[in-house]
Chain A
Amino acid sequence: MSQPGVIIVGAGQGGLQAAISLRQEGYAGSVTLIGAEPGLPYQRPPLSKAYLTEGNADALVLRPESFFSTKDITYLPGTRVEAINRAARQVVLPGGARLDYDQLILATGTRNLRPSIQGLGRALDLRTLADARRLREVLASPRRVAVIGGGFIGLEFAAAARKLGHEVAVIEAEDRLMSRVVSPLMSDHFKALHEGWGTELHLGQPAAAVDAIGVTLPDGHHVSAATVLLAAGVCPNTELAEDAGLAIENGIRTDDRLRSSDPSIYALGDCASFPDPRSGRQVRLESVQAATDHARLIAAQIAKGADAAYAAVPWFWSDQADRKLQIAGLAGPEATETMIEDGIVARLDAAGVAALETVNNAGAHMRARRLLAGGGPVTLETMRAAVLKTAVCI
């Protein structure tokens, strides 16, 4: 490794996409992709969805081993970078080996948030393929499962576990489901669905303690469970960046080109906080879309000197049983909500429609995405006409 080139720390979907895009854009320097997990880079979203019910790990692999040699990408799995030496433009590997870089891309992702709950060590995680494998083993025999956290992962898991015939209880600290990412109307919609599927919901109740027979709630109620899953959100892996003196703000802080406070170091995906193109607010998104769109923008800058601000419209999805929740756009905490029709909720702020939430309605979702990508403010009337495919009177 005599010539420095690009080093990518983190081999999730975003890190891998950066490597793929660098080569697609014609970058001729060396590309090194370093991942902490063993094995080939894989897709994470199905771990809480199809993988739980089907168990096909091969289907998760993003690129075969041959891809890396064909594209001349050095892939170092099972390797946790120990430090970044910005002055020397080097990353330090376990054992002290040093690799030089011209540009460094941090794609370090997130890890599970571990609230201070007594006995939490007994709870299982659902973050990596190894976690999901363990859960599948546990779910091989019928049991009662308690899930701490009523967000996407917790609810996707709950729906899958119900499908497999288990008894499921979800414990959520906030008074509604998915409160961080969807409107109160959509929270209610999914509350009714999960209750209909036979899941027991405990809302407004942070777990107080986990023991061998279940979870105790603050009001003293005990939710009995043989297995407890922790799905209470994540925190960004910023330690490497922080130790190297990079600016941190709920993630590795970047500008609208995804550059950190050191212009030779970029950050992407779940670990990066970047200016939201619509509101200008610094945001951190946990999504495949952000990770891969970030990766493509960074690769184009490095490979071709492209100079465009990040402008992609965010989108998210969650599969819960037979319902596909789709979100186009990004609503801030101040957003209000309006139901356009059953299962279609618009979120509004001072500048117009910030996001559209739909259930099993791909057409409305895609039309909303296109409209929001137009750039200018979108009024509720324009959005309503677009998603319902009605004519607009001007």
Chain B
Amino acid sequence: MVQLIFVHPDGSQTEVDALEGQSVMKAAVANDVDGIVGECGGAMMCATCHCYIDEAWADRTGPREDGEEDMLEGAASEVTEHSRLSCQIKLTPELDGLVIHLPEEQL
């Protein structure tokens, strides 16, 4: 199990027990975390799983994948240096406790 902490725009938090190997998007959707849509199912087609990785974790989630930057252009909320598509972040034991900030909107 890898624990994830989603922080909503209003500051409230949802904690989720995710599976190693799962993507952050899948873990969010499977646990019905409001704020991650993941419409295309992880095919990098929709930018509706946009999230901001907490600064303290930025170096552990790695760089953006090929094409991810381009898809982020279509994100509904502001894109910052911490923006990622959560479908492209695969969970490893090192990410236990990962803090993910959710955007205002995805659609």
Contact = CB atoms under 8 A, between A and B. Distances in A.
B71 A366 contact: yes
A364 B73 CA distance: 10
B40 interface: yes
A362 B44 contact: yes
Interface in B1-58: 26, 29-30, 32, 34, 39-41, 43-47
Interface in A47-63: 49, 59-63
Nearest to A366: B74
Which among B26, B45, B71 has the greatest number of chain A C-beta atoms within 10 A?
B45
B40 A62 contact: no
A317 interface: yes
Nearest to B34: A24
B76 to A, nearest CB: 11
B67 interface: yes
A292 B40 CA distance: 10
Contact of B29 (A24, A49, A63): A63
Contact of B74 (A49, A289, A292, A370): A370
Given A362-B71, A363-B70, A63 B43 contact: no
B32 A70 contact: yes
* Interface residue SS majority, chain A: helix
A132 to B, nearest CB: 15
* Interface residue SS majority, chain B: loop
Contact of B41 (A45, A64, A70, A296): A45
A326 B73 contact: no
Contacts of A67: 32
Contacts of B29: 62-63
Given A367-B73, A369-B74, A317 B30 contact: no
A366 B70 CA distance: 7
A392 to B, nearest CB: 18
Interface string A24-39: 1000000000000000
Given A366-B73, A370-B74, A315 B32 contact: no
Contact of A59 (B26, B34, B73): B26
Contact of B67 (A59, A64, A70, A362): A362
A46 interface: yes
A319 B67 CA distance: 14
Contact of A326 (B30, B39, B45): B45
Contacts of B43: 45-46, 49, 317, 319
Contact of A288 (B39, B47, B67, B69): B39
Chain B residues touching A, range: 20 to 34
Nearest to B73: A366
Contacts of B39: 288-289, 292
Given A288-B40, A317-B45, A363 B32 contact: no
A43 interface: yes
Contacts of B74: 366, 369-370
B86 to A, nearest CB: 15
A364 B69 CA distance: 12
A24 B71 CA distance: 25
Nearest to B19: A58
A296 B48 CA distance: 14
Contacts of B67: 324, 360, 362
A45 B46 CA distance: 14
Nearest to A364: B70
Contacts of A62: 29
A361 B30 CA distance: 29
Interface in A336-390: 360-367, 369-370
Contact of A315 (B26, B41, B45, B107): B45
A46 B32 contact: no
Contacts of B71: 362, 366
Contacts of B73: 363, 366-367, 370
A49 B42 CA distance: 12
Contacts of B46: 289
Contacts of A364: 70
6 contacts: A46-B43, A70-B32, A71-B32, A288-B41, A360-B67, A369-B74
Q: Identify the 9 closest CB pairs spanning chains A and B, nearest first.
A: A363-B70, A362-B70, A366-B74, A362-B67, A43-B41, A366-B73, A317-B45, A362-B71, A64-B30
Given A70-B32, A370-B74, 7 more contacts: A45-B43, A59-B26, A315-B45, A317-B45, A363-B73, A365-B70, A370-B73
